[in-house]
């Protein structure tokens, strides 16, 4: 099951303030800053006017576990984030001893007859002694349902685009889950900014 944690929550207030000061610099109005509601309204005004550049000062860093390689491929195809991904090159054989009895620990399995399909793959790998292959070759036998872990960093402007596209009903159902899971980790004020942009 997908697990998402917002890792930089404690510094978001500082970054929000940086975005506000960047916005105020555009109009030489830094002296009007109140470090409160007026400043926060200013960012909302920026969004309504499609003035997104100051939002790049706000970054979101997520720790993500149990995400399929299918979703990783989608992220890579439309990349506006910084991604640091668990290396199957160094970790793949760690599953060897318990994969058969714990398929849902290593793979997304919520598909018809999928457990049976995965067991056929594991049987094939064992029968052909493929566990002895170098990981670079062994991983090519693994389906895209294999889970991975990663860190993802994205600025708020790019997150708007990610969330708008990937939470859509037209997006792959697993990337919809990722988009909504990242959103649900965010503080209320950041969610308000996102909602404002999505509704615009």
Give yes or no for a contact between 43 and 70, defined as CB atoms under 8 angstroms apart: no
Question: Which residues are identified as catalytic?
Answer: 166
Give yes or no for a contact between 189 and 11, defined as CB atoms under 8 angstroms apart: no
Distance CA 107, CA 43 (A): 41
Bridge partner residues of 132 (DSSP): none
State the DSSP code for 54. Answer: G
Distance CA 11, CA 133 (A): 44
3 state SS of 141: helix
Q: Cβ atoms within 10 A of the Cβ of 36, count?
A: 8
Distance CA 126, CA 147 (A): 20
Question: How far does CA 70 lie from the centroid of its chain?
Answer: 13
Distance CA 47, CA 31 (A): 21
């Amino acid at each position: 099951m997908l697990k998402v944690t917002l890792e930089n929550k404690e510094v978001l207030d500082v970054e929000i303030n940086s975005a506000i000061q960047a916005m105020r610099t555009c109009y030489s109005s830094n002296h009007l800053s109140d470090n409160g509601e007026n400043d926060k309204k200013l960012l909302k005004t920026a969004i309504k006017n499609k003035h997104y550049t100051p939002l790049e000062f706000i970054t979101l860093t997520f720790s993500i576990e149990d995400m399929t390689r299918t979703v990783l491929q989608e992220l890579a195809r439309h990349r506006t984030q910084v991604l640091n991904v668990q290396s199957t090159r160094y970790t793949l054989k760690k599953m060897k001893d318990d994969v058969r009895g714990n398929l849902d620990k290593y793979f997304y399995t919520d598909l018809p007859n999928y457990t049976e399909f995965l067991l056929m793959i594991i049987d094939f790998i064992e029968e052909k002694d493929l566990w002895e292959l170098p990981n670079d070759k062994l991983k090519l036998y693994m389906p895209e349902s294999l889970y991975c872990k990663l860190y993802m960093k994205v600025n708020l402007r790019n997150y708007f685009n990610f969330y708008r596209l990937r939470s859509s009903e037209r997006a792959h159902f697993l990337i919809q889950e990722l988009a909504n899971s990242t959103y649900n980790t965010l503080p209320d004020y950041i969610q308000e900014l996102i909602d404002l942009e999505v509704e615009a």
